[in-house]
Amino acid sequence: MNRWFEDGRLRFAVGIEDTFVPQESAGHRKLDEYELTQHYALWREDLDLAADAGAELIRWGIPWYLVEPAPGDFRWEWLDEVVAHMDRLGLRCVVDLMHYGTPLWLDNQFLNAAYPERVAAYAGAVAERYRGSLTDWTPLNEPVINAIYCGEKGLWPPCLRGDDGFVKLIVQLARGMVLTQRRIAEVQPEAVFVHVDAGFRWAGDTHPAPLEHLLERRFIGLDLVLGRVDEDHPMHGYLTRHGTTDQELRWFRDNAVTPDILGVNYYPAFTTSRHDPDTGTPHPVEAGTEGLTDLLHTYAARYDQPLLVTETSRGGPAAERLAWLEESVSTVRELRAEGMDLVGYTWFPFFALVDWLYRESDDPADNWLVQMGLYDLERDAGNTLRRKATPAVARFRELAREARAEGDSGGR
């Protein structure tokens, strides 16, 4: 029997921004996107709007730090309600189990020696409780971005810096991903795994490291999880120079897991960077549908797995977002017509998000709202962030309806 992504259909999805970094320190505020966008209060309305927009899939994350406030102490009440409502709406949830932040009780966060087992135990508990309702899982969102923010740039806990910090983080994250997938598969043999990677592209001739290194490093999380890193892998020397042992790399090869679907995140205005030749400072550049096509072809050729566009959108005026919706969906359709195994398209975020720079600022959250969703957020006199539909909502609904009709008639 074919699984949902094997029937040849194109599915439309939305995602709700779900970054959780609950740790606070001098100059760094807690960052919980559900709290800042009032999703905790308005979750039922948000899910209703997603279903009404025609989404069949939703990328939605669990706030681990709230669901497991102490080791082994799970608080299911709120999550029970959310999952039951998704069931009623017929929304298939691709569960974001780990979207950057760890619980407050986990000392040293991702560097904690027990992190891989802890995250896997949490994932297994969720999978066991919601078997039959939640069957599609992302063990960890964007491992390389996670390692950059937490291990290379020192912005998020445990705030390491440089290549040494990056390597320590990516190895821990990848180990957690392997154990998470294995633990869920024990509980749910029918589970579908969607590994989500951030797209990286570079323009120009000046780079902070050799371009060949950057082009390979963007895949390092997935290659570890898939057990691909041996002595001949381009990243082997980089990993071992920064402390990874051959025994650790052998563990990945011996315990390799394979996702069912590879999720690719792409934003036309900032996935591609150009570095200033004088300062080395990266600046995002517009790459449009050419960048999307290039990135999807790159992942298809490297991994030969079904692909899902797990994030795409554009900030700015609603008219520009509508134009990107048309252009990007047209590109997805063209790639499918050429034979690419591309199973879905996700507009992410569904409504506005709060820029991550909020964490390092004293300004109100409204100053950091980034309107890049199908819905805008506008605060009313009662302090509620109202969801205001843009014209892209109606068009998204039409496109989703057309895709379902094509699927029902057997078209691709």
Sign of CA dihedral 104, 106, 110, 111: positive
pLDDT above 90 for 2: no
Tens of pLDDT along 217-275? 999 999 999 999 999 999 999 999 999 999 999 999 999 999 999 999 999 999 999 98
Torsion angle (degrees, nearest 10) of CA 257, 108, 77, 383? -120
Tens of pLDDT along 168-221? 999 999 999 999 999 999 999 999 999 999 999 999 887 888 899 999 999 999
Nearest-angstrom CA–CA distance, 222 and 144: 9
Q: Which of 139-143, 198-202, 329-333 has the lowest mean pLDDT?
A: 198-202
Q: Give mean pLDDT, residues 277-281.
A: 81
Tens of pLDDT along 7-53? 999 999 999 999 999 999 989 999 999 999 999 999 999 999 999 99
DSSP state of 91: P
Q: What pTM was computed for the model? A: 0.96
Nearest-angstrom CA–CA distance, 171 and 388: 42
H/E stretch holding 337 reads: helix 318-337
pLDDT above 60 for 1: no
Q: Name the residue with higher pLDDT: 281 or 317.
A: 317
3-state secondary structure 116-183: HHHHHHHHHHHHHHCCCCCCEEECCECHHHHHHHHHHECCCCCCCEHHHHHHHHHHHHHHHHHHHHHH
Residue 246, CB half-sphere, CA atoms under 13 Å: how many? 3
pLDDT above 80 for 412: no
- Where do the domains of the chain lie, and which CATH numbers do they carry? 11-410 (3.20.20.80)
